[in-house]
Amino acid sequence: MIKTKITKLIFGGQGLGRINGQAAMIWNALPGEEVAVTITKNKRSYCEGISTQIINPCADRITPRDRHFAACSPWQIMKPETENYWKLEIGREIYQRFAGIKVAPDLKIIASDECFHNYRHKMEFVFTENDRGQLSFAHSKRDSHQTEPLTECSLLSKAASRTAQAILDWLRQQKIPRRELKSLLVRSNQKGETIAALFVKKPRDFISFPALKDHWLGFYIFYSSPLSPANLISREIGHSGQDYLEEIIFSKKFRYGLSSFFQINPPLFQSAITDAAKFIQAQDKLVDFYAGVGSIGLSLQTANQPLALIESFPEAIAYAKQNIALNHSVNSRTITGAAENALDYITPDSTVIFDPPRAGLHPKIIKKILASEPAKIFYLSCNPATHARDLKMLLTRYRLDFLRLYNFFPRTPHIEGLAILTRNK
């Protein structure tokens, strides 16, 4: 039996211990605990593993709600207040270490006890068979290509869970074999309305579709080549109802589709928008990069304020145009293309908004910012490591006016950060 004592939680979500003189990064382990470990990866300077026995549990440990917690939400093992504490400490350490930022002692993480469960408004399922041979949803086991049956997920909204179960029941009734199924995408809004898309590996005609009820607004079936990523559409097989939902963020209405990005935790997203809006002035010329359907730029825009939404994904840009119309935004426009190819919109008189993927800002964007020095930068990030990396470069020409963390993804190690920068005089 391999044992280790856990000293802290680290970026990525594991507990840190030492085994045979190496740093050991262990899942299902909390600070202060002694755990027995199964090693899953052994490198020259470190190892990774999963605890198989908690020898001395700490007072912050709780029983996870889901049997599959290790696969999708490994921080179900701790109290909410413990999770918030460690996300704050990890964020503080990353910004100080990677960006050299002297983080204020009053750095905050914004969280909501009401949003710790059933907050996810989108989830994708794959399929397997349960121990009775029935078709079932599945999650991939952590550090493994194997899957295990999934009965329910406590992170997913209750409305989306009901719709997913209705589709699973229908598939069982239709006796669709698992080998023909690829994945199911289901999403919901705060009103409890849902849409869903089934991706199949073998095109077939469906005699009937499940009945849409209980705020289930639309269901699509797509053929997706077995050689393609899970949700790449080769062609539509059929549909019932609509392929979009609408969400209200403060007084603004947003429409988004099955595949387009929309913030997964709207109440916490609204908290970030509230904080950002305090730094917006009516004369600011807003340019929203990685704009998606326009949820950040349009939420921050005041009446008649100029706004450009830059986005590369065709579905998202189509909904961004609809959202401009829905919100009667007369001084807005969309630009179709990759953010790093729209550098001419970074000008000295602009206020630029970024919410990039986890990889952070493209180097071309950093270079253009430093050359053109736009007036203000609003940078929302789901990855503190790349956030800090980019801020370190930007802070050579800018001052940091605001930095705050948000628990957009409770029960997981993910941390959202918002930084607001102003050009040095």
**CATH number, position 36:** 2.40.50.140
19 pLDDT more than 80 = yes
Name, in order, each residue with C-beta under 8 angstroms of 8's C-beta and a sequence gap of 6 or more: 15, 16, 31, 89
Count how many domains the chain has.
Answer: 3
Name, in order, each residue with C-beta under 8 angstroms of 227's C-beta and a sequence gap of 6 or more: none
Query: Mind listing the pLDDT tens digit for each residue in 84-133?
Result: 999 999 999 999 998 898 888 889 999 998 889 999 999 999 999 988 88
Same structural domain for residues 369 and 288? yes
Per the structure, the complete domain to which residue 41 belongs is given by 2-61
Query: Mind listing the pLDDT tens digit for each residue in 352-410?
Result: 999 999 999 999 999 999 999 999 999 999 999 999 999 999 999 999 999 999 999 99
Domain annotation covers residue 69: no
The type of residue at 66 is D
Both tokens of 144, joined, read 């493994």
323 pLDDT more than 80 = yes
DSSP 8-state assignment for residue 78: B
Residues 328, 308: Cα–Cα separation, whole Å = 15
Same structural domain for residues 297 and 384? yes
Same structural domain for residues 231 and 285? no
Name the domain boundary from 246, 269, 284.
Answer: 246
Residue 388: which H helix or E strand, with range?
helix 384-394
Same structural domain for residues 265 and 393? yes
- For residue 113, count other CB atoms closer than 10 A to its CB: 10
Q: Of 165, 91, 182, nearest to 387 (Cα)?
A: 91
What percentage of the chain has pLDDT greater than the value 70? 99
Residues 310, 345: Cα–Cα separation, whole Å = 9
Domain annotation covers residue 78: no
Contact 8, 18 (CB under 8 A): no
Name the domain boundary from 188, 222, 246.
Answer: 246
User: How far apart, in Å, are the Cα atoms of 69 and each of 23, 28, 43, 78, 258?
Assistant: 24, 10, 26, 12, 26
Average pLDDT of the segment spanning 166-190: 94
SS3 at position 192: coil
